[in-house]
Structures are given as structure tokens and as C-alpha cells.
Amino acid sequence: MKLIRYNSKQLEKIYNRRFPVTKRIIQRVSQILEDVRLLGDDAVIKYTRKFDGVKFTPKQLRVSEREISGAYQNISPNFVANLKVIIENIRRFYARSLRKSWRTKDSDGLILGELYEPLEKVGVYIPAGTAPLVSTVYMTALPARIAGVKKVVLVSPPDAHGFINPHILVVADLLKVDEIYKIGGAQAIGALAYGTKTVPRVDKIVGPGNVYVSEAKRQVFGYVDIDMIAGPTELVIIANRYSDPSFITADLRAQAEHAHGLAILITDSKTLAREIKTKTELNATVILTKNMIQAVEIANKIAPEHLEILIQNPRKLLKHIKNAGAIFLGPYSPTAVGDYVAGPSHVLPTCGTARFFSGLSVFDFVKSSHIISYSKKALEKIREPLEKVAGIEGLKEHLDSVKVRFK
């Protein structure tokens, strides 16, 4: 564990961290995507055999109803009951976020408004490399369902025997995911982005993944929408001399379960800094500051995925927090509750992108169309400024399209 001070040059490396992608990965992903675009199912099957060691026919790529039914036989009896509690928490949280279409009309007959519509098809990527991320199924598919998405397609890499973890299948089934495919990696992103004979093309791809998945999402952006580009997970803890060292140690250890994750403690207490440094043999960093306001300033520059404020009155600092994917207030709100049960999605911005990205929400699955309706009287009133701007831009036909309505 490293101990650095608020004025250390090492902070710049943390502030300017980047997604861990290399030129070789960029080129490799580009080739996989191009193969999938041109060859469809054949390329998906080729790369699934190469990377996952499983040989499928096109028909076998899709999880069958029989496989889904069989998954229920391989889970613990109380899993579904526990899952329903979590689902209700997520529903309650996102029900407050739904946007409604609106219109206004003035005395001249001018109507303006916005029409909100859910996306038609969304693809959800569920990692299953080091561990099957069961929680990511409900953290992605459920906000899409609440937003009103018509069709949800889930992809997840198969195990060595050609199966998807039964818990993933059960959650997907309970959330009424429409189609599930046993594919992963960049080839899965390509299949969702371009479509194949077997896998439908979607409008948006969401969900975390490894560096190849993240790079594939970056490269297909524009063909489809994406939620964000996810990097290694991050945790920043703000604490002072009154904070419980055992809580901090436990949370840093939990963060260390993720490969290549960022774990940072920011504190103005020398005693706490030394104690945590002594107790915790982890790949983590302690940043020692002059006071709590400086701690907040540093946290805002880091813009972490997860931010825990473990002081006695965390709301006092909350009003100064500008950049964080999710903020956990107080000693009894560990990051784990956000990862699994609280309600907000755990798909969050990383690598400092909390400066401009938000966590996954129902907003990600809705688009808007502007509504514009002018009466002749309303158009007459706005005609002069319209003609002035169009004239400056030299677009004569634009001018004529207005003038013709008054001949």
C-alpha cells in the first residue's frame, strides 16, 4: 500500500488514468468485428470455438427453452425469493425516474413539446469470465424493461461445456428477456451491432466486459448506441479520525477482489492513514490531506466509480461532491449494497468519466422526438428573425420555403 500526500506528483497519474487498451487489442478487435460484419454466424462460431473452446451450430447459439427450464433445477430453493426482494428495490428506484411526453400551446397556436419513446431493441452483455455476474442481469435488463424497451437480447460467453450459468438464465427468464445467446467477447458485440442470420441487430448495447468487449463497444458506437466504455472498477473512500478502521479495511479488501481495480483512501488523519497502511497489505493508495474540503477536491478530480464517505455527517460533504458514479453515505452503506440490492444500477462510469457520464438508468433506454407545430399567425410573428438568420447563412431555398406560405 502506498501513502502519498495531497501535493504529490503521483496524483496526476491517478487523475489522468486511461482505459487499459493497446494498439494490438484495437487492431485485433477491429478484425473480429469486420469478420462478424461480413461473415455473420460463421465468424461468431469461429471465434466462439477459438476463445471459449466450444463448437456450436448456428441453431445452438441460442439458449433453448429446455435449457432455461433445466436451470431452475440447478439453483438454491430460496434464490428466486431473494431475487424478488432485489427486483422490487430496483423497480421502486427507477419508477421515480420515468419521463413523460409533454406539449405546450400558446395563444398564437404555437405547439411545442417532446415525445418520449422507449428503444425497440436492446442488447445486454453479461460477463462470465472469472465469475458469472448474475447481478448484472437485473442491473441492466430491469431498467430497460421499466423504460418500456420492446425487446431485450442477452449475450453471455459459454463455459467449457457450452452452457451459461443457471443463475444468469433464471434471472433473465424472470425478467422476461426475449432471447439469450451463448456468445461473448468482441464477436458478441459485433453480432448485436450488425446482426447476423441468428442474432438480431439491436439499437443499443449495455453492460460491462473485459478490455476486448469495451473496445468493441467503442468501435461499434455509431452503428448502435452504447451505455459507456467500462474500465477496471474503482473505489475511493473519504474518512477522518472518527471513522472505523475495520470498515475501511473491509471495503478496501472487497475492492481488491476485482482484478486491476483502483482502491484509494483519502483522509486528513495521519493516525488513520498509518493504521490502514499497516493493517492492509493490498494494492491500494492512501492520500493524506490537510482537511476534508481538500479531500473532496481530490475526490472530484479522481471522479471515481464508487465514492464512500465514511464520516459522522456525510451529508455535510455531499453538497460539495461533483463527480462520482455512485455515492455511499455513512458507515453502514458499503459499496456491496450498491453492487447487489440497493436499487440503482451498478453499471457505472470508470476511469474518470464520471465527469460527464452517469450510471445506467431508464434514461439510457428512452429517446425523444421534438414536436413543432406553428399556425400561420405564429409563423408570421417569427418570420423576420428566421429570414435574418437564414439570409446570413446564405440559404435562399430555406427563405423561400417560408415566404411561399404568405403569397
Q: Which residues are catalytic?
A: 305-306
The identity of residue 236, as a single letter, is V
**Cross-strand pairs, 103:** 113
Q: CA–CA separation, 30 vs 47, rounded Å?
A: 13
Query: Is residue 359 a contact partner of residue 353, using CB atoms and an 8 Å limit?
Result: no
Q: In this structure, is the dihedral angle defined by the CA atoms of residues 17, 23, 27 and 32, taken in order, positive or negative?
A: negative
Query: Is residue 281 a contact partner of residue 300, using CB atoms and an 8 Å limit?
Result: no
Pairing of strands 179-181, 285-288: unpaired
Q: CA–CA separation, 249 vs 22, rounded Å?
A: 33
Pairing of strands 111-118, 102-105: antiparallel
Q: CA–CA separation, 260 vs 278, rounded Å?
A: 21
DSSP letters along 244-270, please? Answer: -HHHHHHHHHHHHTSTT-EEEEEES-H
Q: CA–CA separation, 233 vs 260, rounded Å?
A: 8
